[in-house]
Amino acid sequence: MLQRRTLLGQAGATLTTALLATGHSWAAPSPARAEGLNPSPFGEHPLLQPLRGWSDGQDRLAEGLRVQGRWPRELRGTLYRNGPGLLGRGGLRYRHWFDGDGLVQAWQLGPEALRHTARFVQTRKFSAEQEAGEFLVPAFGTLVPARRPVRGSDDMNTANTSVTVQGGRLYALWEGGSAHELDPQTLRTLGPKTWAPELRGMPFSAHPKREADGTLWNFGTFLGRLALYQIDAQGRLLRSRVLSLPTAAMVHDFVVTQRHLVFLLPPLGLDLEAARAGASMVSAMRWRADEAMRVVVIDKATLELQHTLEAPAGLVFHFGNAWDDGQGTIRLDYVQSDMDEFLSGRFNAVLEGAMAAHGAPSQARFMTLDLRQGRVSIAARSESTEFPQVDPRVVAQRYRYVYAPTQRGLADRWGFNAVQRLDLERGHTEVFDFGPDTVVEEHLLVPKPGSRREGEGWLLGTGFDARRQRSFAAVFDAEALSAGPLATVWLPYWVPLGFHGHFQRSA
Ligand SMILES: [Fe+2]
């Protein structure tokens, strides 16, 4: 099953390192100087302060956290989170939020002894730059001249996107290269993870999917190829495979059903000429609006590409879930993002310290694939959401609820300020609005011990209160969201805004 020659030939060769190999000189003077590190000071808007990052690169620890409300007695464990925690060095700042170095947090939560730890992942990049006091290697959205050799994507790995725990081991994830293993207690970095010698340095995405039996599926994309991983509940690699995709595409997330793995390939290409001329990765991306979005369906049993369907062009970062009915129909949900927002630089304007307005909002989409007829249909909702989550017990199975941050009563304000539960059967939402001074991050569904019903659990997530200039974790009864948090845990500081997390229940 393992395609050894292909893996060895392509290991570590992501799109970025491919550019290096094709003669792209990261050290060349850029015709677009605005893509280089930003020398201007960060803005003072109180809502945007967590996007400054922690420029000292130092770890934080807080104990005896203040709890408002009543923490559920049976909810004990650690909420791990990850995100771009360091965005500036030596008075120069990255242009793009995705560029920052990974800062992993552990919120140790329970009725007592609440504690928060945050540590930067000691990637090769971070360690070298921390010592030098300046950025040394190229980033996704900022043109940084290489002052260190970049031989493979792990030389630029920021480990900044998500975290997961598999077989008792904690991993910081980044889609372009290796996962980094961390000590689950201390968050000390143990180093890049190699699942098999042939897979050294291969992309391992930040969005693995874990089925109810503990099986973990993941992927990585590079140069029009797709690496697939199946890992058992103990953390052992069961199978891997590298396939060719019908088109090269930026793929951030995917979904799993009982029988299939499903990928959406937006028509987002890379202009190699622009990249060679000195554009950053994000500026060299080109949207081919007249092309279809490919829907790639892979058979889990064989890891072979089984169907390729076409859907209208759309940019996708995140999925909620998917299931198949055993009769040739797959249903899935995802969030469609605004292409202009992503490519035009309005997205980056937030890092200029300005309160950027959204372009078109990111919105939920519901896709039905008829595999026998080769047809795709899509339904849409209009509210702005991102970072969708489902009950971990229904991953790859028929499901009813999707949980996501959303916006309520905001005009032209960046970020989310509310959380919602969408009931797919009834088509309505239940919402809690934190108010205009809060930025809400991803919220996870944690099942209550002994419960069997989907959605019977707590909704647990984090946010930032701009008036207090403090970050918090909030827990809701997931079946009574509009009643507000059962409890809120406050940090004595703010934490850089992050992307994704994982809750690990205490044994
Ligand atoms: Fe993501």
Tens of pLDDT along 77-111?
Answer: 999 999 999 999 999 999 888 999 999 999 999 98
In eight-state DSSP terms, residue 10 is H
Distance 136 CA to ligand 1 centre (A): 25
pLDDT tens across 399-420, in order?
Answer: 999 999 999 988 777 889 999 9
The predicted pLDDT at position 17 comes to 42
Q: Is 226 buried (19+), middle (13-18) or exposed (0-12) by CB count in 10 A?
A: buried
How remote is the CA of residue 419 from the centroid of ligand 1, in Å? 17
Residue 12 domain-assigned? yes
CATH of the domain at 198: 2.130.10.10
- Check: CB of residue 429 under 8 Å from CB of residue 422: yes
Q: Which residues are annotated as a binding site?
A: 207, 252, 318, 500
Instruction: Please state the residue numbers annotated as binding site for Fe cation.
Output: 207, 252, 318, 500
Q: What is the 3-state secondary structure (H, E, C) of 429-476?
A: EEEEECCCCEEEEEEEEEECCCCCCCCCEEEEEEEEECCCCEEEEEEE
- By percentage, how much of the chain surpasses pLDDT 90? 75
For 365, the domain range is 6-505
In this structure, are residues 20 and 12 in contact, taking their beta carbons and an 8 Å threshold? no
User: Are 285 and 307 in contact, with CB atoms under 8 Å apart?
Assistant: no
Tell how far the Cα of 175 is from the centroid of ligand 1, in angstroms. Answer: 9
**Ligand 1 center–CA 131 separation, angstroms:** 29
* Calpha distance 476→481 (Å, rounded): 6
CA dihedral angle for residue 356, residue 359, residue 360, residue 364, rounded to 10 degrees: -40
Tell me, in angstroms, the distance from the centre of ligand 1 to residue 5's CA: 30
Residue 253 Cα to ligand 1 midpoint, Å, equals: 7
| 211 CA distance to ligand 1 middle (Å) | 18
* Mean residue pLDDT across the chain: 90
Q: 203 C-alpha to center of ligand 1: Å? A: 14
Residue 326 Rama label (left phi>0; alpha psi -120 to 50; beta):
left
CA 386 to centroid of ligand 1, rounded, Å: 9
What is the distance in A from the centroid of ligand 1 to the CA of 442? 10
Residue 260 in this model has a pLDDT that exceeds 60: yes
Concatenated DSSP letters for 357-400?
PPSSPPEEEEEEEETTTTEEEEEEEEEEB-S-B--GGGTTS---
> In the structure, what pLDDT confidence band is assigned to residue 289 with cuts at 50, 70 and 90?
confident
- Mean of pLDDT values over 72-79: 97
Residue 1 belongs to a domain:
no
Average pLDDT of the segment spanning 337-352:
70
Q: pLDDT tens, 353-394?
A: 666 655 678 999 999 999 999 999 999 999 999 999 999 999
**Distance from the CA of 69 to the center of ligand 1, in angstroms?**
31
28 C-alpha to ligand 1 centroid (Å): 31
pLDDT tens for each residue of 9-66: 233 334 444 444 333 333 333 334 468 898 888 888 899 999 999 999 999 999 999 9
What pLDDT is stored for residue 2 in this prediction? 35
pLDDT of residue 501: 98
User: Ligand 1 centre from 500 Cα, in Å?
Assistant: 7
Cβ atoms within 10 Å of 440's Cβ, excluding its own: 24
What are the structure tokens assigned to 78, written together?
A: 């650690």
CA–centroid distance, residue 267 to ligand 1 (Å): 19
pLDDT digits (tens, 9 = 90+) for 166-218: 999 999 999 999 999 999 999 999 999 999 999 999 999 999 999 999 999 99
Domain count, the chain: 1
> Distance between CA 85 and CA 101 in Å, rounded?
6
Residue 72 lies in a domain: yes
Look at residue 50 in the predicted model and tell me its pLDDT.
Answer: 93
Residue 367 inside a domain? The answer is: yes
Distance from residue 252's CA to the centre of ligand 1 (Å): 6
